[in-house]
Amino acid sequence: MKFFVDTAEIDQIKELNDLGMVDGVTTNPSLIAKSGRDILEVTKEICDMVDGPVSAEVVALDAETMLAEGRKLAKIADNIAVKVPLTWAGLQTCKTLSDEGTMVNVTLCFSANQALLAAKAGATFISPFIGRLDDINTDGLELIDDIRTIYDNYGFETQILAASIRSANHMSECAKIGADVATAPPNVIKAMANHVLTDKGLAGFMADVEKAGIKIL
Q: Which residues are catalytic?
A: 83
Is residue 184 pLDDT above 80, yes or no? yes
Q: Are 104 and 84 within 8 A, CB to CB?
A: yes
Helix (H, G, I), strand (E, B) or coil at 13: helix
What is the rounded CA–CA span in Å between residue 94 and residue 84?
7
Is residue 150 pLDDT above 90, yes or no? yes
**What is the CATH architecture of 2-187?**
Alpha-Beta Barrel (3.20)
How many percent of the chain have pLDDT more than 70?
Answer: 100
Read off the pLDDT of residues 33-65 as tens digits, 9 standing for 90 and up.
877 788 899 999 999 999 999 999 999 999 999
Work out whether the CA dihedral 8, 128, 170, 51 comes out positive or negative: negative
Is residue 99 pLDDT above 80, yes or no? yes
State the chain's mean pLDDT as an integer.
95
Q: What is the pLDDT of residue 157?
A: 97
Q: What is the pLDDT of residue 168?
A: 96
Q: pTM score > 0.85 for this model?
A: yes
